Amino acid sequence: MTDPAPAPAAAPAPAARTLVMGVVNVTPDSFSDGGRWFDADAAIAHGVELVAQGADLVDVGGESTRPGAARVEPDEELRRVVPVIRELVGRGIRVSVDTMRAATAAAAVEAGAEIINDVSAGLADAAMAEIAAASGARYVAMHWRGHSDRMDGLAEYADVVGDVRDELAARVDALVAAGVDAERIILDPGLGFAKRGEQNWELLAGLDRLQALGFPVLVGASRKRFLGAMLPDAAPVEDRDLPTAVVSALSAERGAWGVRVHDVVATRRALDVVAAWQSGRRG
């Protein structure tokens, strides 16, 4: 087990409030929306709608990372996401790109994306760190152990919070060594990625141990299987939005930098309640 990476010399100041990252899946096979936004015009309209509902930024992805999902060809991923990003940025919307590919990240930043959201933390594409360093974009490094077609078999941990912390710390060391500015790194515990249900809850309860690394933390629990396990078997995926909003509120209370969600309305309201509660505490 490696020692945790030291905090950056000038750790980023915490956000004034937890940011809401709205999800736009430009995919035909996402578990969360069944391909409703696969058409570029529909994806753009959805991104605009999410911002109107209270999203601070929009996360555009062209490759599903649901369990068992197959990879998308690089050219197809580019075809899906770049026009959507360019149009949203042109409308004054802050955009992140959800990709594991360096070429897609580079094209997305050129189109105006300000954050690279890499679920593999640079492990899926050796060129990603170089692109992240050169781009000047903020970089979300998520805990990851393997691609979607095999990640369910990789959920063995001695101490899930400690192991995830240490593996993220190792990725930070590698990214910084490759030239990525530590002040631009955001960490994501990777809920649902090589994690069994109870392990996700342990990670959420242990967010403070991850934050002790000194980096902002993004929580992406939205509509995931461990939330669905709390509901009746036949419940539609949208029924996971209320549990997602509760997780968002608790994550904000714990100081999360941001939450990545499909249903912005419920989470925005939950975070407004947290902000009001905190203001009352300060009063």
How far, in Å, CA of 134 to CA of 138, rounded?
11
Other CB atoms within 10 A of residue 276 CB = 10
* DSSP state letters, the chain: -PPPPPPPTTPPPPPSS-EEEEEEE--S--TTTTTTT-SHHHHHHHHHHHHHTT-SEEEEESS--STTPPPPPHHHHHHHHHHHHHHHHHTT--EEEE-S-HHHHHHHHHTT--EEEETTTTSS-TTHHHHHHHH--EEEEE---S-TTTGGGG---SSHHHHHHHHHHHHHHHHHHTT--GGGEEEE--TTSS--HHHHHHHHHTHHHHHTTSS-BEE--TT-HHHHTTS-TT--GGGGHHHHHHHHHHHHHTT-SEEEES-HHHHHHHHHHHHHHHHHHH-
At 172, the amino acid letter reads V
Q: Within a 13 Å sphere around the CA of 129, how many CA atoms are in the beta-carbon half?
A: 17
List active site positions. Answer: 224, 260
175 to 32, 68, 126: CA distances (angstroms): 31, 28, 11
